[in-house]
Amino acid sequence: MAELLSVNRGTAEHIVGYAPLTGIHKRSLERARIERLGLVGDAVCDPKHHGGPDQAIYVYFADDYQFWADQLGRRLEPGLFGDNLTISGVTGREVAVGDRFALGEVLLEVTYHRTPCMTFAALMGDKMWVKTFHRANRPGAYCRVLSPGEVTPGMAVDHRPFAGERVTVSELMSFDGAKEIPGDFMRRALATPIREKTRFKYETRLADLF
């Protein structure tokens, strides 16, 4: 059984040397409530790219944190990457759109992967971080909230793999920035509960093929 290692919430703050306000700084909590739009009280400073029903909760996985700890040669605390929930016992790269996580009364559904941005790079103090993170292809997962409720660290997490077409977050991430996306891949993705923004993009691209 997987486990919820940490619950993390951010407030609007500045990163030193970086002008925009951001909620990427997350601090661990002993208890928090999850509603339809995410963790109650969590700051979303760039609603164009973050937040909303399809990106309400960002989950990162202990095995991916261990990978980065090995790569960077230092211990990484849960929440460092801006994750709301840090989960152990799940192989992050194999998580697919449509997978569900049940934590007590809370039920989450994976919708998309995380795309690294310059705010993330500023947080890590590395101008090349976007490329480094993308190259590693360990993006974590955005989720929509199907059932709200309270969460606490140490809770058991029931990972329920999607029974339909499996499109992993890593596979999705591999097409970030691609000018051409294979039609068969887009059709596979559209057979999943992928986020609406990407659904619209793929449906439009497929329509243009005919």
* 3-state class (DSSP) for residue 15: strand
- Identify each DSSP E strand in 18-147 by its residue range: 18-22, 26-29, 32-35, 38-39, 57-61, 85-88, 100-103, 106-113, 141-147
CATH architecture entry for 2-176:
Beta Barrel (2.40)
Residue ranges covered by each domain of the chain: 2-176
* 3-state class (DSSP) for residue 81: coil
pLDDT in tens, 40-82: 999 997 777 788 999 999 999 999 999 999 999 999 999 999 9
pTM of the model: 0.95
pLDDT in tens, 72-131: 999 999 999 999 999 999 999 999 999 999 999 999 999 999 999 999 999 999 999 999
Q: What is the helix (H) or strand (E) element at residue 190, kind and residue range?
A: helix 183-190
